Structure 1
Amino acid sequence: MPSSPKTNAYVVVKVYGRLFCHWVPLGFAYVAFSLGCNVGYMALLTEYTTNDYWWRQFNTSGGQTFVADIFNAKINLGQSGPFDLYQSPILKNYGDTTTFIDMPPTAARRHLMSTVPLEKAVMTIRQNSLYENVYSIVAHCWVDFDRRFEMAHTSARQLRCAARQLTNAGVYMETMLRNVDSDDLTLSAG
């Protein structure tokens, strides 16, 4: 086995004079002072950054919760239209750091399963863009009203559509396509 030639590496250390040795502790002191000022400034800012308005000791969580509670109470009573916020007494402390919105567990399902008048549904489809309508969560069964092109995600779903959904305009993609602005339809990619 051939031996490799040995190389010696030398490191040259240049020793600075006494003048430069005094700057090293001052540099460390400067870094420590700078970090201390940063920590102090962050401690000072924590009171101001607790809300979106940058006001000290201002709690915004109660206002949003109060408005949501009022709207939920009016929806649960079946009221619609304008109403007075000052004549809606709700006995709750909105000054706490955490307040929760009061809502019955069945409210979302009740709202989802409620019937929407045809005029309102068509108006909503026409006001939305094609992008918003395409990405709404609808399980379409057919592309066209003549039911030539099926598009349910499984064959079992397609059979359920044929049995129960023939008169439901929401399961036909043509319903949405006919009510979208034609310029939006022709200019959309995809």
Structure 2
Amino acid sequence: MSNFDLATFRKAKFQEREEDVPLSGLTAAGFGGYDGEGDNAKPVPVVFRVRGLTAEELAKAEQDADNSKLLAKVAERLAGNDTEKVSAMMDGLGLNDKTPAALAKKLAHVQMAVVEPELKLQDVVRIADAYPTDFMELSNHIYNLTGKGKVAQVKRKPSGKTTASRPA
């Protein structure tokens, strides 16, 4: 016998789960600007706002990873034998035929789940390339939020059978 309250689940409203992720590599590089002047200047923390992914977004990223291989083949046909053109086309999209499917999925996940600042795929690729630890930090937070699911807005049941006391 399951104790899952299906009726309450069906009535519940859900809200995306979000959190702020400080990124030490981008901060140290000065991409958040500086507080103060001269030798006393300190880097301003770079913080990205991320959210959990939906099942549809997870599936779309899976499909996009498969499509990136197809896209590489299409680019080859469009460019003929000119491998430089193919490479340039794929690099412009942030992908190439050597990009592992797992990385292509992770790039798509991060691009979809970063709420602020809004990133293009090319931005995510540059972060992953230049600051791989920050990229991993973002993806780990996104997967953690995704695993927790959305925040359910449900009314809590009273904890006991006693009635509430009257105001004095």
> Shared fold by TM > 0.5?
no
**Structure with more contact order per residue of length (Cα contacts < 8 Å, sep ≥ 6):** 2
- TM-score norm. by structure 2 comes to 0.18
- TM-score norm. by structure 1 comes to 0.16
- The structure carrying a bigger strand percent of its residues is 2
